Amino acid sequence: MPVPFLDLYAGNRRYEAAFFRELKNLYRQSAFIGGPWLEAFEKEFAQSAGTADCVATSSGTAALHLALVAAGIGPGDEVIVPAFTFPGTAWGILYQGAIPVFADVLLKDGCIDPEDVLRKITRRTKAILAVHLFGHPAALNPLEKIARERRLVLIEDAAQAHGGFYQGKALGTLGDFGCFSFYPTKNLGGLGDGGAILVKRKSAAGRLRRLRDHGQRRKFSPEEVGFNARMNAIQALFLRLKLPSLPDDNARRTVLARRYLSALEGNPSLIPLKPSAEGISAWHSFVLRARRRSDFLRVLKTRGIGHQIYYPATLPALKPFRPFAKGRYPMAEELARSCVALPLYPELKEPVVLEILKALAQG
Ligand SMILES: Cc1ncc(COP(=O)(O)O)c(C=O)c1O
């Protein structure tokens, strides 16, 4: 039985009728840019995370970039970022002419290692950009402490972590800026590109709203260099329909992840990444380290189980980031060598789950 790595329509079909009904309203009102759907989504997403405000953007990459601009990051400033993540985490640093300084990650969850962050701080460090990789919360307590003591801005890349928690607080609400992506495959996935920034104080949202809209508050009067980084209202309409199901969807992901985890207990060849005790993962992806990856990939292939390599290379090993690489990143390198992501989404049916469990037993 072929097992797809992802099945977007299986998740989105639940909202199909409501979406087309609502779309007719939006279409007739021509509320394509800004407008009631966008404003309502911003309010509801901030409320769902228990924080002050949300600024919706055109993508997760744009959200991270605007957060860096609002944090005052400019040419020559250093931003500490994990050596193992999706490249979109760090593009904004390069857009600003700033310097990405790579910190190694922890093998247990793939998130940035706060001790290596401390080692990488210099006089030029301005910010820490932590990623909740695969939905697992980064070590926010130590990171917040470092940021506070060294007067650094803390940005959370929560692109993979909608609905996750750290010590009872929603991911994306602990740092100065919490950046999300609504790329279709995410836990809260849209119908195209989209993103958002959560902020703890309403006052922090004004500048972000201006930056995403040509640097202006009023039409034709930009106050600074701006961007066109607005979320499309059709995305907001769809995301509003989906948002109330996020807790249940994440609960289903957690149930599945726990079944995979218990199947792997005591297996020395397949070692899963999992969240620390302080957090509740959003379980965006189930990623494990395979000691003999090519053998395990063969098992998955033979059984027709979809999989991905998240990620095949460390960030400093990628061409655009190579000029900023310094020394080795042993844990990130180990993850790039051994990681495999398995199918994990709320709509996985029991026979398919059993197939995956069999592959884990064989691997
Ligand atoms: C960790 C991480 N950061 C940033 C991004 C960039 O988001 P987007 O694709 O919406 O620009 C993504 C995902 O795509 C991601 O997974």
Its pTM stands at 0.98
Helix axes of 350-362 and 246-264: crossing angle, nearest 10 degrees: 30
How many whole angstroms separate alpha carbon 106 and alpha carbon 279?
15
Q: What is the pLDDT of residues 63-93, one digit of tens each?
A: 999 999 999 999 999 999 999 999 999 999 9
**Which ligand 1 atom is at minimum distance from the Cα of 284?**
16
Candidate from 57, 64, 85, 86 with most ligand 1 atoms within 8 A of CB, to mutate? 86
Ligand 1 centroid, distance to 11 Cα (angstroms)? 20
Q: Between vectors from CA 348 to CA 236 and to CA 299, what angle results, nearest 5°?
A: 125
Q: What is the pLDDT of residues 304-351, one digit of tens each?
A: 999 999 999 999 999 999 999 999 999 999 999 999 999 999 999 999
Q: Is the pLDDT of residue 291 over 80?
A: yes
Ligand 1 centroid, distance to 245 Cα (angstroms)? 21
With a pLDDT cut of 70, the percent of the chain lying above it is 100
Q: Is the pLDDT of residue 136 over 90?
A: yes
**Which ligand 1 atom is at minimum distance from the Cα of 194?**
10
In the predicted model, what is the mean pLDDT of residues 101-107? Answer: 98
Candidate from 84, 105, 181 with most ligand 1 atoms within 8 A of CB, to mutate? 181
The CA-based diameter of the chain, rounded to the nearest angstrom, is 64
- Identify the structural domains of the chain with CATH numbers, from first to last: 8-244 (3.40.640.10), 245-362 (3.90.1150.10)
* Cβ neighbour number for residue 339 with a 10 Å cutoff: 22
Q: Is the pLDDT of residue 1 over 80?
A: no
Instruction: Give the pLDDT of residue 245.
Output: 98
Q: Is the pLDDT of residue 193 over 90?
A: yes
Ligand 1 centroid, distance to 183 Cα (angstroms)? 7
Q: What is the pLDDT of residues 238-290, one digit of tens each?
A: 999 999 999 999 999 999 999 999 999 999 999 999 999 999 999 999 999 99
Instruction: Give the pLDDT of residue 2.
Output: 86
How many whole angstroms separate alpha carbon 62 and alpha carbon 82?
19
Instruction: Give the pLDDT of residue 357.
Output: 96
CB-based pocket (< 6 A), ligand 1: 59-61, 85-86, 88-89, 131, 157, 159-160, 181, 183, 193, 195
Confidence band of 43 (pLDDT split at 50, 70, 90) = very high
The secondary structure of 104-129 as a DSSP string is -B-TTTS-B-HHHHHHH--TTEEEEE
From atom 3 of ligand 1, which residue's Cα is the shortest distance away? Answer: 89
Structure tokens at 189: 């996935």
How many whole angstroms separate alpha carbon 191 and alpha carbon 93?
27
Which SS3 state, helix, strand or coil, does residue 280 take?
strand
Ligand 1 centroid, distance to 86 Cα (angstroms)? 7
**Which ligand 1 atom is at minimum distance from the Cα of 185?**
14
Ligand 1 centroid, distance to 59 Cα (angstroms)? 8
Instruction: Give the pLDDT of residue 363.
Output: 81
Ligand 1 centroid, distance to 311 Cα (angstroms)? 13
Ligand 1 centroid, distance to 358 Cα (angstroms)? 31
Q: What is the pLDDT of residues 49-67, one digit of tens each?
A: 999 999 999 999 999 999 9
